[in-house]
Amino acid sequence: MVMSDDTLNPFAPRSTPMLPSANGTVSLGQGDESLPFYAQGAVGKLTSSGGGGSAHNLGAFADGTPAITSKANGKGQAIHFAWLPGLSYWFSQPAGAIGNRPRDDSLRKIIAGVATSVAGVTPPVSVSLPRIETPLLLGPDKTTAVVTLLNFRAGQPVPPVAALDINVTLPFKPASVTSVEHGAVTPTKVAALAGAAGEWLVSFTLPLEFGDFVLLGV
């Protein structure tokens, strides 16, 4: 597949689509919903991704060809896409959309689900709405932390969130929670995590317009 510079430029006209493209469905875990996708840059039949054992199909194109596979590889697993998930998501906004563009929610769930449902990664921060970025920064002594909240909800202007529920897992019990935008915050829950020695869960709710920093400390 060959892509021009204009195709890779996110501000380029949509008259330069990536080809070939294909549709299909993905189910990342047992009992998970079937997620449709429209793939940009589909490259056709998957080849071996290394490691022992047989590859497990997580999704297929409409013609039955595997679209995503998982295969044991040492102590882990190799996840192989036969298409370009990141650029497929980027170019999934409606033609002519401006501002913080709406993009395909099913593709977002597939990309995130590879980490959570397939690889079993549990994010240290979870929130009640999608498209809110929530990086967690820990201080060097692991007694302070900062959560950055960034609102990437679709719309122009970006729609504010009246009440965002936030859950943060920390290696210490926080005694204070402070928002740069809203001052001191009273958590709705602070509890030790069962089966996770030294880890604590703190929950709180905040409004969010564009962005915020939340400081947690002992």
Token pair 């690889």 is at which residue?
119
- Please name which of 173, 178, 207, 213 lies closest in space to residue 189, comparing C-alpha atoms: 173
Task: Write phi, then psi, for 104 (nearest 5 degrees).
Answer: -65, 120
Q: For residue 217, what are the CA distances in angstroms to 2, 170, 214?
A: 50, 10, 10
pLDDT in tens, 28-68: 876 678 899 988 877 655 544 444 457 888 988 888 888 89
Q: Which two tokens stand for residue 139?
A: 């201080």
For 149-161, write each residue's pLDDT tens digit.
999 988 878 899 9
pLDDT of residue 180: 97
Q: What is the pLDDT along the chain (218 residues), one digit of tens a residue?
A: 334 444 444 444 444 444 556 889 998 876 678 899 988 877 655 544 444 457 888 988 888 888 899 998 888 889 999 888 888 888 887 665 555 667 888 999 999 999 888 888 889 999 999 999 999 999 999 999 999 999 998 887 889 999 999 999 999 999 999 999 999 999 999 999 987 788 999 999 999 999 999 999 99
What percentage of the chain's residues is helix, strand, coil (to nearest 5)?
A: 10, 40, 50
- CATH superfamily membership of 125-217: Golgi alpha-mannosidase II (2.60.40.1180)
pTM: 0.76
Angle at CA of residue 34, ends 33 and 35, nearest 5°: 105
Give the distance between the most distant pair of CA atoms in the chain: 56
Domain positions in the chain are: 5-118, 125-217
